[in-house]
Amino acid sequence: MSSTRQQTPITFEQSHNLTQIFGADGTLAHRLPFFNPRPEQLEMAQAVTQALNNTACAVLEAGTGTGKTFAYLVPTLLWGGKAIISTGTKTLQDQLYERDLPTIRDALGAPVTIALLKGRANYVCHYHLDRTLMNGRLMGRDDAAHIQRIRKDLNHVKRGDKAEWPDIPDDALVWQQVTSTRENCLGSDCPNHKECFVMNARKEAQSADVIVVNHHLFFADVMLREEGIAELLPAVNTVVFDEAHQVPEVASIFFGQQFSTAQIIDWARDIQAEGITHVRDAADWREVKDVLERAAKDVRIACGTDNGRWSVAQLPDNSPIWDALDKLQTIIDDTLKIIEPVCERAETIEQLSTRLEQLSEQLTQWRELQSDDMVRWIEAFSHTVRLNATPLSVAEPFTRQRESDHPRSWIFTSATLSVRNDFTLFKEQLGLHDAHTATWESPFDFAKQSLLYVPNGLPEPWDRNFGNIVLQKIFPMLRASNGRAFLLCTTLAAVKRYGAWLTEQIDAYDLDWTLLIQGESSRTELLNQYREAKNPVLIGSQSFWEGVDVRGEALSLVIIDKLPFAPPDDPVLAARLRVIEARGENGFMAYQVPQAVINLKQGAGRLIRSETDRGVLMICDSRLITKRYGGRIWQSLPPFARTREESVACGFFENHFEGGQA
């Protein structure tokens, strides 16, 4: 935690006059050289203060450039008591802890302590690091180099957080080997308990005034409390959800149920390592591992060759998946019988036995679940299968949680929560019927800084020639902008197709562009490469639609291939639409269109990030123009200038960038 500079503290009475803080001659203007007063920011801070005064709930949408972070931080710090700030991404979580919170705290002279808390998968575990080094379980030269680097730095890092090794990719396999899970953590029995980074982070959070978490950790803690386990996060007076548009989806995960064959495969590899180390004579541990791992992989084989999602209601009784799950359950039971006699010989074996029992119970619960409020579905990935039970609505359980604890203020904020200032969908998803709502437009001059371009001559997205024509339409735009673009796709298949085609064009025309394609490197690495490249083009899907901040001419063109409607065969979506239509409503207009608007606003929000940014947003979907709901969608976007003419769109770069091109 950064040190606190000595400033004259602002008293609680002064906080009622926020103009003294946010005004042109106010505290922030005097103490922060980069601060620019904005009326929208002041109004939002007043709305947050009102919610704090009334111990109420507020849903606040603030466009890019409003300064919403400071607008909720100032009242939160001045109010006192304990507060949780929950974010949707680790990037924003780190930014709040490292930069924004210390900046505001020091400017206000507020005597508050700040803690950062992430899920345990973000912290290096001393025990698992030592065990991995001892067992030599890593594969590949890169992993070996990564683990040596982690071991070398371990006594010098502050938090043991993955973020302290930025040069090791976030998705590197080594992280799975050197971090713990709730299931395999030894707790107080661990020989490294006193130096444990997770425990130290929790202790700091318990004593801090402001704790920065992410949505997944927040709801994981909610579920622990439901199970009667001591809560991870302390009782607080204020909860702020930044990037709140993600909350309904994250809540659905934690209020539902999940079981993955990947958990069984991980367990099988753990039992082999621990069995050989502690009870070598008790069984052929390699065989135990192989049999269980094979049964888990057979579940994936039973799903067929393609990845996909299927509702249980879609699967026939004679589907191969059921026999594969029966076999897996039997082998799990047999494995428990093998390890039961030797549990007392080693604590780690006993812990693994408990962990497998819990996995067996999760599998049984999923198979036996009968609930009109939940939809059971199966998701097949390249190598594993996940069994899901997702609530049709999280409004009831989330409301129950909000009302079960002592009264507190709840603030939900994002740049994308409404459809033309209508918050109905978001409020219904979380049961926030009593919430105060407000929205502030971005202070940026979109009509001058940007252009929305929907090309003429586009077929419907389901037309077999759609992809080819989109490529014909986007290439002149990429030439006009000289790269410096994001191509945001709604499917991974489109990412691969457009990536292959653009690779050919770059070679054919000998273009000085750097093409970056999702899947070729980690998300963090791709963004770093983008920022360093001269004329980059990045092609990505959902993970690049939000939480990405590239300012200046480096990103001058954002292309979106289709309106981001969820796939109509998605099992959870289909079940939710049936519920809506059973009430006599139009599911498409009541749910799918508003959800698409929120997602589209996120993608469009990548383009203009500052007062000096300029660029073109190109949406290759004629439904924005031809369908009645299209007007509702584009009217929810910022007030871009608009055109359908290629010459006008290409001319934007000649007219707005020095030298004719971006």
Task: Tell me the percentage of the chain whose pLDDT exceeds 90.
Answer: 72
pLDDT for the residue 517: 95
pLDDT for the residue 163: 85
Q: What integer is the mean pLDDT of 32-37?
A: 90
Strands (E), 507-562: 514-517, 536-540, 557-560
φ, ψ of residue 279 to 5 degrees: the values are: -140, 55
Question: Lowest mean pLDDT: which of 102-106, 336-340, 400-404?
Answer: 400-404
Which tokens hold the place of 570? Answer: 């998605």
Q: What is the pLDDT of residues 535-590, one digit of tens each?
A: 999 999 988 998 888 989 999 999 999 999 988 779 999 999 999 999 999 999 99
Which tokens hold the place of 322? Answer: 């059921």
pLDDT higher at 233 or 477: 477
Which tokens hold the place of 225? Answer: 């409390």
Q: What integer is the mean pLDDT of 13-41?
A: 85
Q: Does position 243 have pLDDT exceeding 90, yes or no? A: yes
Of all helices (H) and strands (E), which one includes residue 247?
helix 247-254
What is the DSSP code (8-state) at residue 162? Answer: G
Asked if 177 and 140 count as a contact pair (C-beta separation under 8 A), the reply is: no
Q: Does position 248 have pLDDT exceeding 90, yes or no? A: yes
Asked if 27 and 33 count as a contact pair (C-beta separation under 8 A), the reply is: no
Q: What is the pLDDT of residues 494-539, one digit of tens each?
A: 999 999 999 999 999 999 999 999 988 878 788 989 999 999 999 9
Sign of the C-alpha dihedral computed for residues 541, 542, 545 and 548 taken in this order: negative
Q: What is the pLDDT of residues 19-30, one digit of tens each?
A: 999 999 999 999
Q: What is the pLDDT of residues 432-482, one digit of tens each?
A: 999 999 999 999 999 999 999 999 999 999 999 999 999 999 999 999 999
Q: Does position 258 have pLDDT exceeding 50, yes or no? A: yes
pLDDT for the residue 226: 53
pLDDT for the residue 225: 63
pTM of the model: 0.89
φ/ψ bin of 335: left (φ > 0), alpha (ψ from -120 to 50), beta (otherwise)? alpha
Question: Lowest mean pLDDT: which of 128-142, 483-497, 637-651?
Answer: 128-142
pLDDT for the residue 177: 86
Q: How far is the C-alpha of 261 from the C-alpha of 206, rounded, in Å? A: 35
Q: How far is the C-alpha of 444 from the C-alpha of 127, rounded, in Å? A: 51
Asked if 137 and 177 count as a contact pair (C-beta separation under 8 A), the reply is: yes
Strand partners, 124: 179
- For residue 573, give the nearest of 320, 309, 330 by alpha carbon: 309
CA distances from 543 to 101, 387, 490, 523, 599 (A): 26, 23, 10, 8, 11
Q: Does position 138 have pLDDT exceeding 80, yes or no? A: no
Q: What integer is the mean pLDDT of 291-316?
A: 93
484 Cα distance to chain centroid: 25
Question: Lowest mean pLDDT: which of 182-191, 260-269, 384-393, 621-630?
Answer: 182-191
The torsion angle over the Cα atoms of residues 583, 586, 590 and 595, rounded to 10 degrees, is 120
pLDDT for the residue 519: 85
Place of tokens 């502050």: 158
pLDDT for the residue 2: 37
pLDDT for the residue 607: 95
Asked if 2 and 70 count as a contact pair (C-beta separation under 8 A), the reply is: no
Mean pLDDT computed over every residue of the chain: 90
What is the b/e burial string over 616-636, where b = at least 16 CB atoms within 10 angstroms of the residue's CB? bbbbbbbbbeeeeebebbbeb
pLDDT for the residue 404: 72
SS3 content of the chain, % helix, strand, coil (to 5): 50, 15, 35
Task: Tell me the percentage of the chain whose pLDDT exceeds 70.
Answer: 94
pLDDT for the residue 348: 85
Q: What is the pLDDT of residues 543-552, one digit of tens each?
A: 899 888 898 9
Q: Does position 5 have pLDDT exceeding 50, yes or no? A: no
- For residue 481, give the nearest of 545, 535, 539, 518 by alpha carbon: 535
Place of tokens 């203060």: 49
The single-letter code of the amino acid at 617 is L
